[in-house]
Amino acid sequence: MSENSQERKRTARDRLVQQRELDRARDRRRRTLIVSAAVVGVLALAAVVGLIAANTGKDGGGGTAGPVVAPSGATGKDRLALRVGAGDAPVTLTIWEDFRCPVCAQFENAFRETVAELVDSGQVKAEYHLATIIDGNLGGSGSLRAANAAACAQDAGEFAAYHDVLYRNQPPEADDAFGDNAKLIELAGEVKGLDTPAFRDCVEDGAHDSWVEESDKAFSEGGFRGTPTVLLDGESVFPKKGDEEISVARLKKWVADAGRGKEPGRVSGTPPLS
């Protein structure tokens, strides 16, 4: 009986040891899967960032179609900026965007109301610059066509409102829906008074195509890493400013710090971002 009892104890210990080994093996496999998934996520993000950055200098394939015709009210160097807000606002928010860029849409959806508030209060003037890097990356012409249509909206004094409509209705990145002028004209119907014969002709004729190409060239030559590029008085703030990641609260603080002791601009007659 004593020998049998000892044998049973040894057998139980052996089973316990085996079970612990199996449990440790399962834990190792689970940790490996978790780490592998994390690495895949990081690599996927790096691939997207690298792909966008790699195409910031690419030519979309088209040459300048004709004389460069800047939209009404365009400002800045070579008249490549579309300003929203008071010209004498003490702080400048420079935004480089591509209407096909999904991260641009994420930025707009997250900060649209904040930027509008800062613009409407005279603390900031927003200067938009348009790029077409997704056309060069994935093919198609939606970046160019949408940018031209936005410039046509600028002619009508409705850039800000139409800009917001485009981002609210942005198709998937690989879908070149904005390459269809009819779609861009249809979306103009969401901005009161914009869908006019003059706007339609401007869109259909590509009146500002060459201006858009000049803007994209300036983006490529500017050494920017990708879209959106967001600068506060020339300093990059997206996705972070220094070691601080951007947030609504931080953007307001950064603007307040930059404008401390300065009078707000006089906002009059400038359609606000909505």
Structure tokens given for 198:
């003059």
Residue 269 has a pLDDT of: 52
3-state SS class at 241:
strand
At position 184, the amino acid (one-letter code) is L
Task: Write the pLDDT tens digit of every residue in 228-237.
Answer: 999 999 999 9
Task: Write the pLDDT tens digit of every residue in 180-221.
Answer: 999 999 999 999 999 999 999 999 999 999 999 999 999 999
Which CATH superfamily groups domain 77-259? Glutaredoxin (3.40.30.10)
Task: Give me the helix-helix angle, 181-188 and 197-205, nearest 10°.
Answer: 150
132 Cβ contact partners less than 8 Å away, ≥ 6 residues apart: 60, 98, 143, 144, 147, 212, 213, 216
Confidence category of residue 2, pLDDT binned at 50, 70, 90: low
* Residue with token string 């990356």: 137
Instruction: Phi first, then psi: give them for residue 65, nearest 5 degrees.
Output: -80, -20
Confidence category of residue 46, pLDDT binned at 50, 70, 90: very low
3-state SS class at 265:
coil
Position 272 pLDDT exceeds 80? no
The larger pLDDT score, comparing residue 39 to residue 111, is at 111
- How does the average pLDDT of the chain come out, rounded? 85
Residue 234 has a pLDDT of: 97
- Please answer whether residues 188 and 199 qualify as being in contact, where contact means their C-beta atoms are separated by less than 8 angstroms: yes
Exposure of 139 in the CB half-sphere (CA atoms within 13 A): 0
Confidence category of residue 161, pLDDT binned at 50, 70, 90: very high
Residue 205 has a pLDDT of: 98
Position 18 pLDDT exceeds 50? yes
Confidence category of residue 66, pLDDT binned at 50, 70, 90: confident
Confidence category of residue 41, pLDDT binned at 50, 70, 90: very low
CA 209-128-222 angle, to 5 degrees, is 80
For the chain, the structural domain boundaries read 77-259
Residue 30 has a pLDDT of: 53
Buried b (16+ CB within 10 A) or exposed e, 52-81: beebbeeebebeeeeebebbeebeeeeebb
Structure tokens given for 271:
């359609």
Position 55 pLDDT exceeds 50? no
Residue 267 has a pLDDT of: 80
Residue 196 has a pLDDT of: 98
Structure tokens given for 93:
């928010």
Structure tokens given for 47:
């691939």
Rounded to an integer, what distance in angstroms lies between the CA atom of residue 268 and that of residue 261?
22
Position 132 pLDDT exceeds 70? yes
Task: Write the pLDDT tens digit of every residue in 214-225.
Answer: 999 999 999 998
Structure tokens given for 150:
């936005």
Q: Across residues 103-113, what is the average pLDDT? A: 98
* Residue with token string 């269809």: 180
Rounded to an integer, what distance in angstroms lies between the CA atom of residue 248 and that of residue 5?
71
